[in-house]
């Protein structure tokens, strides 16, 4: 599960757990991007995003966190991360990249997408309005995508990091939207305050 995690929220955790169960994954590795290639505005320091993610996944024995993209200079590209994990776990292990509908829709714009489809599967967490978007993406990417991109229904949870940052900036509650440990971290370091 790669992402900006700005901040990590219950939607990320719920999607990861449902994917683990649905696709019988041995574990889910959370990989916060140090420099996300597709997001340039309103991204807090990577050390905070990494620390919040580590705290949020700590209580699930099937979840881990990796700092592979934290240690990489420049933008983080998923193909490099997949190669990193293939070197660790070997070519016999199948890898799945867990993502939301928005990410799946953007896959045709990703660097090295053909290589990625050769090296890993994608699990697309479906929002109620997302199936047409996914069908269009599959058609754009061709036959390989139909074999390597899998759709997964998840309970509806209309949370986004943008929405949560806005609530935090306006002093509104994020209780039951963010893990308690993430809320405590945000308060401790005074993150996401109105400028």
Residue 154 structural domain:
2-189
Residue 145 within any structural domain of the chain? yes
Average pLDDT in the chain? 91
Distance of CA 56 to the CA centre of its chain: 13
Q: How do the residues of the chain divide into helix, strand and coil, expressed in percent and rounded to 5? A: 45, 15, 40
Q: What is the mean pLDDT of residues 32-44?
A: 81
pLDDT of residue 132: 67
Cα dist from 174 to 160, 170, 178, whole Å:
12, 11, 6
Q: Is 173 exposed, middle or buried (0-12, 13-18, 19+ CB in 10 A)?
A: exposed
Residue 72 within any structural domain of the chain? yes
pLDDT-derived band at 13, boundaries 50, 70, 90: very high
pTM value is 0.91
Residue 14 within any structural domain of the chain? yes
Residue 195 within any structural domain of the chain? no
Q: For the chain, what is the domain count?
A: 1
pLDDT of residue 65: 98
Residue 194 within any structural domain of the chain? no
Residue 106 within any structural domain of the chain? yes
Q: Is the pLDDT of residue 28 over 90?
A: yes
Residue 20 within any structural domain of the chain? yes
80 contacts 72 by C-beta, under 8 angstroms:
yes
CATH number of the domain to which 183 belongs: 3.40.50.620
Residue-wise pLDDT for 45-92, tens only, equals: 999 999 999 999 999 999 999 999 999 988 878 999 999 999 999 999
pLDDT of residue 37: 72
pLDDT of residue 54: 98
Residue 153 within any structural domain of the chain? yes
């Amino acid at each position: 599960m790669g992402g900006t995690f700005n901040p990590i929220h219950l939607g990320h955790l719920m999607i990861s757990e449902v994917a683990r169960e649905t696709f019988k994954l041995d574990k889910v590795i959370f990989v916060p991007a140090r420099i996300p290639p597709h997001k340039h505005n309103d991204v807090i320091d990577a050390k905070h995003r990494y620390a919040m993610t580590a705290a949020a996944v700590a209580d699930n024995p099937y979840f881990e966190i990796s700092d592979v993209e934290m240690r990489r200079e420049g933008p983080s590209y998923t193909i490099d991360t997949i190669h990193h994990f293939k070197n660790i776990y070997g070519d016999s292990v199948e890898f799945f990249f867990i993502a939301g509908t928005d990410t799946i829709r953007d896959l045709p714009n990703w660097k090295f997408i053909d290589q990625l489809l050769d090296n890993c599967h994608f699990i697309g967490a479906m929002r109620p309005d997302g199936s047409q978007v996914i069908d269009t993406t599959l058609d754009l990417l061709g036959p390989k995508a139909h074999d390597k991109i899998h759709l997964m229904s998840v309970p509806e949870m209309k949370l986004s990091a943008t929405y949560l940052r806005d609530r935090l900036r306006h002093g509104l509650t994020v209780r039951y939207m963010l893990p308690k440990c993430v809320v405590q971290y945000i308060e401790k370091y005074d993150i996401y305050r109105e400028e």
